[in-house]
Amino acid sequence: MQKKALGRGLEALLPEKFLDTPGSALIEEIELDRIIPNRYQPRQSASGGFDEEGLKELAASIKAKGVVEPVLVRKLGGDQYELIAGERRWRAAGLAGQTRIPAIVKEANGSDPLEIALIENLLRKDLNPMEEGRAYQRLIQEFHLTQDEIARGVGKDRSSVANCLRLLNLPEPIQADLLADRITLGHAKTILSLQRVSDQIRVGRQIVENQLSVRETENLVRRLGKTSKDRRPVSPQTAEMAQVQEQLCYRLGTKVRLVGRPNRGQVVVEFYTAEDLDRIVDIILH
């Protein structure tokens, strides 16, 4: 099996702690069919998040120059390896007719591959905003990272991370539209300014059906906002209840309302599909 010294490209991409290994790290030439995709792949769009034209362009480059930057894998049982980072290069190498690919073999525990894959994907410019928000959420929930730590890790300011996390408060139908690129991040931010979930879904449907621009959406939301103020009941909610409500919305990824007073009331959790209900129940019970 051919081996060569570790290049700098991957070191610049991934956090240092994931590449720290005893002695000198080496690159192995591994057969493509011995590598399987990462089961924790954060990309969630129907195409797997990889543009076909982009893959063809990368395949052409690989055919001409070879794979410049190695992929990162971990050893499984037998002679199999699991991708941790570099699935796009692995797929393009196959399209280019390559049978082997340079790879760094990393000793990783059960959680490391997910964290590495999430961070690698978050560093890429073509990640969908909804995928980005959900990846941030997983880093917070499963690795207990703060928004500041995530921001430093991916080279963004904290407000950018916070804005992506706010997308998780959108109703599931709106999240699905954003994930499928039927609406833009600008549309989503505008929809978030609406208080009523029914209004949010209504506006989202109109954006898709009528191909509304962000400016047109802002005008529509402004009109709905004025109407909503006239019909919105006065809430006796305290600042503490409002904070709890916001935390529940973030944790459950849906609209949550606390109705009543601090010593008595109801927690209203909204869902929009059977799958959405299953997801919420799973979060509550676990």
User: Could you please report the per-residue DSSP string of 210-278?
Assistant: HT--HHHHHHHHHHHHHHHHHHPPPP---HHHHHHHHHHHHHHTS-EEEEEETTEEEEEE---SHHHHH
| Per annotation, catalytic residue among 52, 82, 87, 107 | 87
- The β-bridge partners of 31 are 100
- The β-bridge partners of 71 are 103
| N-terminal to C-terminal alpha carbon distance within the chain | 45
State yes or no: is 87 an active-site residue.
Answer: yes
- Evaluate whether 43 touches 131 at the Cβ level (below 8 Å): yes
* Helices marked H in the chain: 9-13, 16-19, 52-65, 87-95, 112-122, 129-143, 147-154, 158-166, 172-179, 185-192, 197-210, 214-231, 239-252, 274-285
| Residues marked as catalytic | 87
